[in-house]
Amino acid sequence: MPRTLIVDPTAPCLNQPQQLGRTLDGLTGKVVGFIDDSKPNFNHLVDDLAELLVNRYGASKVIKRRKRVSSHPASDTVITELVEQCDMVITGSGD
């Protein structure tokens, strides 16, 4: 008689307190980073958001970096650069 193996793909709940990232009190004078997932059209959205963040919300600078392939993580070099230079980083994809 054939055997059937049933696998539960859910991860266990750790029930451990999670530390949230620090909250910004605003964007005035802050450096905002974007990681573009290299999907079509996200670069257009990022350009518009960057202009809005600087002109309306007072961000001092926007740093944009694009991944080569959407299915791969950002390189360690990009992550290190953004961690060192940015107060906040947004990642996303288009289509």
pLDDT tens track for 6-64: 888 787 777 777 777 788 999 999 999 999 988 888 888 899 999 999 999 999 999 99
Q: What was the pLDDT predicted at 80?
A: 96
Mean pLDDT of 80-93: 92
**Is the CB of residue 19 less than 8 Å from the CB of residue 74?**
no
88 pLDDT band (50/70/90 cuts)?
very high
- Positive or negative CA dihedral for 70, 71, 77, 83? positive
